[in-house]
Amino acid sequence: MKTQFKITLSKCTIQIIIILTSLFFHCGRKPRNIFSFDSEKSTPSINPLSLPTIKEIKLTRDNNKNIISWQKLTTPVSVLSKPNNNNKQNTDDDILKFELIGYNIYKFASHAFIPQEPLNPTLTTTTQFEDSSASSKYKWCYVVRGVFKVKENIIEGPASQIVCEKNR
């Protein structure tokens, strides 16, 4: 003899199940720790577009090597960390000082996107870079970005203009 169970749920029980399920799955969002009372370190929110851009980037070809050169950035750079809408004087806490620590060079085929990883394994401190790995398979393009240090943070500045090889 089979025993059948019939489950009847009230409207209130169904609403509770829905609420608990939505709390459990978070709808794809990262859960926040609402019970943490530690004050977080205030890291400055810096718009990279407020940093200086590499100018006068040039690409030359010499003995199967691409040589990328650019104008040196001047540092230190000072940027307001918070816009001051009042008529108050800016304090040292409102101004962030940036120090140029080097450059990153990015190489990509003319039909591709700029990669996330730079071509140079370590920061370049000079204003010239030789790329001996440029094969004739693609038309190569390059972008240079300045790398700055502010407090303990390392920030990449905006990308330079894109320079590409001329047709070979």
Q: Which residues contact 159 (CB under 8 A, 6 or more apart)?
A: 53, 54, 106, 114, 143, 144, 145
The pTM of the full predicted model, rounded to 2 decimals, is 0.64
Q: 2-16, 50-64, 84-98 — which one is most confidently predicted on average?
A: 50-64
Of the candidate ranges 76-80, 88-92, 133-137, the one whose mean pLDDT is the lowest:
88-92
Report the chain's mean pLDDT, rounded to a whole number: 76
Residue-level pLDDT at 98: 80
146: helix, coil or strand? strand
- 101-159, pLDDT tens digit by residue? 999 999 998 888 888 899 999 999 999 999 888 777 778 899 999 998 877 788 888 88
Residue 151, CB-side half-sphere exposure with 13 Å CA sphere: 13
Nearest residue to 98 (alpha-carbon basis) of 48, 149, 146, 49: 149
Pick the CATH number of 48-164 from 1.10.287.4070, 3.40.50.2300, 3.30.450.20, 2.60.40.10: 2.60.40.10
pLDDT tier at 62 (50, 70, 90 boundaries)? Answer: confident
